[in-house]
Structure 1
Amino acid sequence: MKAQDLRIGNLVKTPRGIKSINGLGFKDTVVSSKDYYATFNNLHEGYFLDHCEPIPLTEEILLKCGFEFVRNNDEPFYQLIKNGIVFNSDYLSVEDSIDCAFNIGNNLLKFKYLHQLQNIFFTLTNEELTINLLTKNK
């Protein structure tokens, strides 16, 4: 997961569960070099990005994002329509993660992590993707 792919509001896995990013920046590491550091809503501590993980898209996550299961000619997939924009995803793959795809003209944009879906959704709709995956502080 690259810092340039993240924005405020993205959900990522931290050592304390799934959290929403509220700040990104640099912080000194133990060896006196700087590395990307994120702070999170409802958490008094932040984490270096190498301690955070992207959240793979799964059936559960897509359904919590408002996607609906569609079976079209025996090819199941998930779909979300917002402001006339259609987001389609492939069905469950080998490792229970899902690849989402969005057609823009003749180009197919593929992504498989929640923060990527959040970013493309916001870019195309100018609205935040509604999803409730946040865990409480431990």
Structure 2
Amino acid sequence: MEKKELRLGNLINLHENIVVEVSEIKDRSIITSHDLEISYEYLSSIPLTEEWLLKFGFDKITNEEGDFYQKGYVRVSIDEYEDGWFNFRKRVPSQLWKDNLVTQIKFVHELQSLYLLIEKEELNIR
């Protein structure tokens, strides 16, 4: 994992199985919310899953378009053609969802960063 990928509040993996929250970003390490200093070489991204979307308060919706997850005007769906990628969409009132693809994401910290950028609020675990 690289420094440029992170922002304060991101959730990431320590040794691929312990979730930590970034509270400070340094040149060669991060400080977690529990005041542990950890080098970037021991950190990895958390794969985005349905479980994480639900933890962040997204609702699962199934309709004629298929399954997707929605929170306010943000919609996330699995891209059936590219394994593991999620489509991140922002709905603009009076426009169709399909016209507003923002980007594709694969990891929890990407969802957190995009949501903050687009909605101007943090994604919190409920």
| Superposition TM-score, scaled by structure 1 size | 0.72
Which of residues 19, 24, 46 is equivalent to 1:55?
46
In 1, the alpha carbon distance for the partners of 2:76 and 2:103 equals: 11
Structure number with the higher helix fraction is 2
2:10 corresponds in structure 1 to: 10
Deviations 1:42-61 (A, max 9, x none): 14x31111211111111111
In 1, the alpha carbon distance for the partners of 2:107 and 2:4 equals: 15
2:124 corresponds in structure 1 to: 130
In 2, the alpha carbon distance for the partners of 1:74 and 1:101 equals: 15
TM-aligned CA distance change 1:107 to 1:91, over 3 Å = closer
Whether the aligned pair in 2 keeps the contact of 1:56 and 1:98 (CA below 8 Å) is no
**Which runs of 5 or more residues in structure 1 are unaligned?**
27-35, 133-138
1:87 corresponds in structure 2 to: 75
Deviations 1:104-136 (A, max 9, x none): 86654111111011101111122110116xxxx
In 2, the alpha carbon distance for the partners of 1:53 and 1:111 equals: 15
Which structure has the larger Rg? 1
**Which runs of 5 or more residues in structure 2 are unaligned?**
92-98
Counting aligned pairs with the same residue, the percent is 27
TM-aligned CA distance change 1:119 to 1:69, over 3 Å = same
Higher relative contact order (CA 8 A, sep 6+): 1
In 2, the alpha carbon distance for the partners of 1:12 and 1:125 equals: 21
Deviations 1:12-69 (A, max 9, x none): 011371111011112xxxxxxxxx21110114x3111121111111111111111111
Counterpart code for 1:71:
T
